[in-house]
Amino acid sequence: MDGSGSFREGRVQERARPVQEVVGCEGEALSTRTQVHINLRVNPSKTSDQSTTPITGGRRRSILPAQRVLIAPSILSADFARLAEDSMAALNAGGDLLHVDIMDGQFVPNLSMGPAICASLHRALPSVFLDVHLMVMDPAAYIEPFAKAGASHITFHIEVAPEPLALIERIHALGLTAGLAINPDTPAEALFPFLNEIEVALVMSVHPGFSGQKFIASVLTKTRALRDAGHPSMRVEMDGGVTPACAADCRAHGCDMMVAATAIFGRSDYAAAIAGLRA
């Protein structure tokens, strides 16, 4: 990790917000929300006509701005009947990227979605950063399918990875940034041997599986420990129960990336919800 930006391989400054037409899953324009401004994070390896991300060697260049707290709306709480439009509305309201929770019904007691949903979302919003969070028993089986589906970043759990370095290297080889996650009961020290190899350290602040749970404040000591031990360019991401009531504490304890599900999608005013998380 070179220390020059928010993710491995250097800092890329935040781009202006160009006008972007959102395309549907089969390539057609979405008639109700065309020609709108969106908070784009343009990936130079992607073009707007790609339905999937090519699998090539080399690291994916950082596409998120450094020195800024990032808000990641979690699509788990979005309206799946109009997923692209709802996701884009959250980005228009100030979200920086989309958080995509993948659950297999084994590592957590819930099922969410597979690569097909991710690929459809990528086709509809080809320039948006997709932060894929694997809450699965066998993360190795999911890495390449989600890379092909358009993921920008993949985080997996240390609790189910006997050889995490091999998985991190695999993610990087596919051109994505990589992260490691811990559950509320897992000590932060479990990630210490790998902090120089990852772009994101994610701390679960609820027991994973369902959105809308209450924030577990005791995990704040873990984010502070990871921030202090990690490289300055590593992102520390809080995921679970994040609301405006605890967002300031998250930032004060080293978090510079916050996932919010019902705190955004459960509100009628997405912009007010996101502004509250930044306040």
Which amino acids are annotated catalytic?
101, 239
Cross-strand pairs, 71: 258
Widest CA span in the chain: 49
Q: Treating both helix axes as pointing N-terminal to C-terminal, what angle do 115-124 and 140-148 enclose, rounded to 10 degrees? A: 20
Residue 262: how many other CB atoms lie within 10 Å = 17
| Ranges assigned E (strand) in 87-204 | 98-103, 130-135, 153-157, 177-182, 200-204
DSSP state of 258: E
CA distance 98 to 93: 13
The CA dihedral of 69, 188, 248, 232, to the nearest 10 degrees, is -40
| Ranges assigned E (strand) in the chain | 19-20, 36-37, 70-73, 98-103, 130-135, 153-157, 177-182, 200-204, 235-239, 257-260
Sign of CA dihedral 211, 216, 219, 223: positive
Structure tokens at 139: 């993360």
Considering only CA atoms, which of 176, 169, 171, 201 is closest in space to residue 186? 201
